[in-house]
Amino acid sequence: MSPDEARELLARAERLFGEDEVRAAVGRVAAEVTADLADAFPIVLAVMGGAVVFAGELLPRLAFPLEFGAIEVTRYANTTSGREIAWRLAPRDDVRGRTVLVVDDILDEGVTLAAVRERLLAQGAARVAIAVFADKALGRAKPVAADFVGLSVPDRYVFGFGMDAYGLWRNLPAVYALP
């Protein structure tokens, strides 16, 4: 996609949540995570690349000791429909007996996050909590639920604030939906 095509995609998109709403959602999630995990000395694992923006905004608001790492697992590979799970960066930290907070951009169908949770529990994590910036309202059950949710988004393809459209626009401070 060319830069002009990318700009056209954004021009046709509908803005769902503005920058102020996004910041408020991150602040609320930070308060909820702090209330639940401040005494747990968790390992926080950001799911790259979507979680980079959310994690970057969330971590400075968590005023308690934690360890940080990253994993990379995807089903989308710059497309708009999920495929098979691909692990690009597996969990490297020793999670045995620890509380792990997985931070991701969006809980869509839940297949990817369910696989992440399963793998961490199989590696011996005592607890796996999940924080997502957005939870897509699909109207049906998902194989995993998030413990902490920033925003509920409609069943549309959304992008911005870490979420991408065709690999683009993760850098937007607001959330948009494709037409």
**Residue 43 is part of a domain; what is its CATH number?**
3.40.50.2020
Residue 3 placed within a domain: no
What is this structure's pTM? 0.90
Return the C-alpha torsion angle 28, 31, 33, 39, nearest 10.
180
What is the extent of the structural domain holding 139? Answer: 19-77+85-163
**Residue located via tokens 């869509």:** 108
> How many distinct structural domains can be found in the chain?
1
Residue 176 placed within a domain: no
Strand 86-89 to strand 43-48: parallel, antiparallel, or no bridges (unpaired)?
unpaired
Residue 12 placed within a domain: no
Residue 159 placed within a domain: yes
Can you give the pLDDT of all 179 residues of the chain as single tens digits? 899 999 999 999 999 999 999 999 999 999 999 999 999 999 999 999 889 999 999 999 999 999 999 998 876 555 445 567 776 666 666 899 999 999 999 999 998 899 999 999 999 999 999 999 999 999 889 999 999 999 999 999 999 999 999 999 999 999 999 98
Q: What tokens appear for 73 in the block?
A: 């697992």
Which pLDDT tens digit goes with each residue over 81-115?
556 777 666 666 689 999 999 999 999 999 889 99
Residue 174 placed within a domain: no
Report the DSSP beta bridge partners of residue 51.
none
Residue 177 placed within a domain: no
Which pLDDT tens digit goes with each residue over 143-160?
999 999 999 999 999 999
